């Protein structure tokens, strides 16, 4: 197998691994220090829901449930909150994360793959 063929195979294996399930932080606390990680199903996203009093809930959630009215039904004990749903690994941390690196790596891999197939 040529070097280009090996490189293409490696890239394809990397792209296939991108399809693995989503991982989200899972906790409910006031500290913002969440270390528990849960593997979600393919149709989930991560949520970080902050109660007005300071408590933050982080967990997996169906992407279709990331709606203010639906969240009010799911968390009836919380009257005022802000939330953020996202769909990259552990994106519901206390600090904002960017997917720019992952997107750049994917685009670079696809360009190399395209070049190998020419």
HEC string of 59-95 equals: EEEEHHHCCHHHHHHHCCCCCCEEEEEECCCCCCCCC
Domain 19-117 falls under CATH 2.10.60.10: yes
pLDDT single digits (tens) 31-79: 878 889 999 987 789 999 999 878 999 999 999 999 999 999 999 998 8
pTM of the full structure: 0.62
- The CA distance from 37 to 60, in Å, is 10
Of 118 and 76, the one with more pLDDT: 76
- Could you tell me the residue ranges of all domains in the chain? 19-117
């Amino acid at each position: 197998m040529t070097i280009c063929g090996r490189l293409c195979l490696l890239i394809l294996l990397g792209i296939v691994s991108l399809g693995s399930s989503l991982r989200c932080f899972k906790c409910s606390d006031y500290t913002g220090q969440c270390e528990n990680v849960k593997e979600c199903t393919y149709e989930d996203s991560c949520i970080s829901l902050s109660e007005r009093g300071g408590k933050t809930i982080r967990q997996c959630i169906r992407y279709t449930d990331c709606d203010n009215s639906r969240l009010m039904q799911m968390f009836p004990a919380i009257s005022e909150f802000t939330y953020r749903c996202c769909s990259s690994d552990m994106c519901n941390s206390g600090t904002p994360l960017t997917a720019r690196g992952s997107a750049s790596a994917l685009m670079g891999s696809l360009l190399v793959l395209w070049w190998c197939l020419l």
